[in-house]
Amino acid sequence: MSGLPRRLVLGIGGGIAAYKACELVRRLKERDVDVRVVMTAGAEHFLGAATLQALSGQPVRTSLWDASAEAAMSHIELARWADAILVAPASANVLARLAHGFADDLLTTLSLAASDRPLWLAPAMNRLMWAHPATQANVELLRARGAHVLGPASGEQACGEVGEGRMLEPEAIIAALSIFEAPQMLAGRRVLVSAGPTHEDLDPVRFLGNRSSGRMGFALAEAAAGMGAEVTLVAGPVALATPAGVDRIDVRSARQMHAAMLEHAPGMDVVIGAAAVADYRPEQRQTRKIKKQDDRFTVTLVRNPDILLDLAALSPRPYLAGFAAETEALEDNAQLKLQAKGLDLIAANLVGEGLGIETQDNAFSVFWRGGSTVLPRAPKTDLAVSLLRIVAGQLAAKGGRGT
Ligand SMILES: Cc1cc2nc3c(=O)[nH]c(=O)nc-3n(C[C@H](O)[C@H](O)[C@H](O)COP(=O)(O)O)c2cc1C
């Protein structure tokens, strides 16, 4: 089972990444998805409809005013027909028009008419266009209304710049779309996720931190909500938007994260520790800024509480999943942590070599008592769905809540 929507409207916006839509259509067809393509006026400058027609095996719609289309009302017919709408690439202009309810072409009009269907958006644009507050506000608005925003990824851009704004690759988009099949796999479940780094203050302006971006935890929270769970996210200091439908609690230090997690864990079905929590904190936090004095400066560190270990001691105990970022002996270290912390599942990854911390992609070896699997390199959004499928499967097999 591919897990993808069977009938998909693919909207193509006016951006350089439109060429990737050809590959996307081809790969969706390979997976037996029935694709109907709708191009914006901008998209027609980048791609010929004939190519997409040949790839999709269906007429390509470009106009709201096409009298030959279904009952001359393509927007309503297509909206009724589709299981889901995917816009890839979603240009800055398309995002703005969708966010503000415009109905000035076929794609935006049918998106309004299909407002009871899931909407997936794969933005693609120059990094400064993406970072502009207007674009960010539009994306927030769309997210808040339940749209699934895929990416964008960082990297080299067609305009020669480097930054965030590349459309996700077709395979990554397809992987993320596969949540469609699992929308209710976590329905009725309560899920608590921790994400991001912690900051351990040295003085009013300095702290000890780590390079965690929070992306994995946020992707898990978003995917869990998408799969029907009631989700609480305890976030360390990160610059990420709250996923739609997720309750967020912001914390700063390991001790604050410990307190928030232990406060919210009772009654949860699943707790996922995806935060990179500092093992140690400075023994003393200076109330005044530390001045430059001697050549050597010694800070004494003391152990922070172990959140997962304390969660494992709860009774009843929720299903507990953790992460292990290792630089060596992946399986041995993961198995040790699984046992030592009393976890139900651990997702282990090697850090470094462009994987793990601060990246969009990752790859995991996943272990649980009596089993393991490998999740190959993929965007964190995609891995989140794969991990939650495993968790949901184990919960269903166990029946009921925690142990
Ligand atoms: C060569 C070229 C490349 C462009 N690439 C992008 C792009 O990658 N993303 C984007 O949002 N806009 C891009 N634009 C601007 C859009 O094409 C323009 O905003 C257009 O109105 C979008 O129309 P749409 O609503 O049909 O997508 C590009 C324009 C040109 C001329």
Q: How far is the CA of 45 from the centre of ligand 1 (A)?
A: 9
At 251, give phi and psi (nearest 5°): -130, 170
Tell me, using a 6 A CB cutoff, whether residue 41 lines ligand 1: yes
**Does residue 400 register a pLDDT over 70?**
no
pLDDT tens-digit readout, 150-196:
889 888 888 788 888 999 889 878 877 876 666 678 989 999 999 99
The predicted pLDDT at position 180 comes to 67
**Does residue 25 register a pLDDT over 60?**
yes
CA distance 360 to 357: 9
Task: Spell out the domains of the chain, with CATH numbers in brackets.
Answer: 7-181 (3.40.50.1950), 190-398 (3.40.50.10300)
Task: Give me 237's structure tokens.
Answer: 């200091």
Rounded to an integer, the average pLDDT of 366-375 is: 90
Task: Give me 300's structure tokens.
Answer: 């004494």
Tell me, using a 6 A CB cutoff, whether residue 123 lines ligand 1: no
Tell me, using a 6 A CB cutoff, whether residue 11 lines ligand 1: no
pLDDT band at 382 (very low <50, low <70, confident <90, very high): confident
At 100, give phi and psi (nearest 5°): -105, 15
**Does residue 356 register a pLDDT over 70?**
no
The predicted pLDDT at position 153 comes to 85
The predicted pLDDT at position 401 comes to 47
Of the spans 157-161, 280-284, 360-364, which averages the highest pLDDT? 280-284
Rounded to an integer, the average pLDDT of 83-112 is: 97
Rounded to an integer, the average pLDDT of 88-107 is: 97
Quick one: the chain helix, strand, coil %, rounded to 5? 35, 25, 40
Q: How far is the CA of 91 from the centre of ligand 1 (A)?
A: 6
pLDDT band at 268 (very low <50, low <70, confident <90, very high): very high
Q: How far is the CA of 159 from the centre of ligand 1 (A)?
A: 12
The predicted pLDDT at position 160 comes to 82
Closest CA to 221 of 213, 233, 239: 233
Q: Residue of the nearest CA to atom 29 in ligand 1?
A: 15
Tell me, using a 6 A CB cutoff, whether residue 124 lines ligand 1: yes
- Respond yes or no: is residue 159 known to be catalytic: yes
Q: Which residues pair with 207 in a beta bridge?
A: 201
The predicted pLDDT at position 70 comes to 54
**Does residue 73 register a pLDDT over 70?**
no
The predicted pLDDT at position 228 comes to 87
Which atom of ligand 1 is the closest one to the Cα of 93?
25
CA distance 359 to 116: 33
With 0-12 / 13-18 / 19 or more C-beta atoms within 10 angstroms meaning exposed / middle / buried, residue 292 is exposed
CA distance 330 to 339: 14
DSSP string, 318-355: PEEEEEEEESS-HHHHHHHHHHHTT-SEEEEEE-BTTB
Q: How far is the CA of 15 from the centre of ligand 1 (A)?
A: 4
Residue located via tokens 């796999």: 185
pLDDT band at 95 (very low <50, low <70, confident <90, very high): very high
CA distance 281 to 302: 6
- The residue from 49, 73, 103, 159 that is catalytic is 159
Mean pLDDT (the chain, rounded): 90
The predicted pLDDT at position 315 comes to 93
Task: Give me 243's structure tokens.
Answer: 């996923």
**Does residue 198 register a pLDDT over 80?**
yes
The predicted pLDDT at position 281 comes to 98
The predicted pLDDT at position 125 comes to 96
Tell me, using a 6 A CB cutoff, whether residue 236 lines ligand 1: no
**Does residue 280 register a pLDDT over 90?**
yes
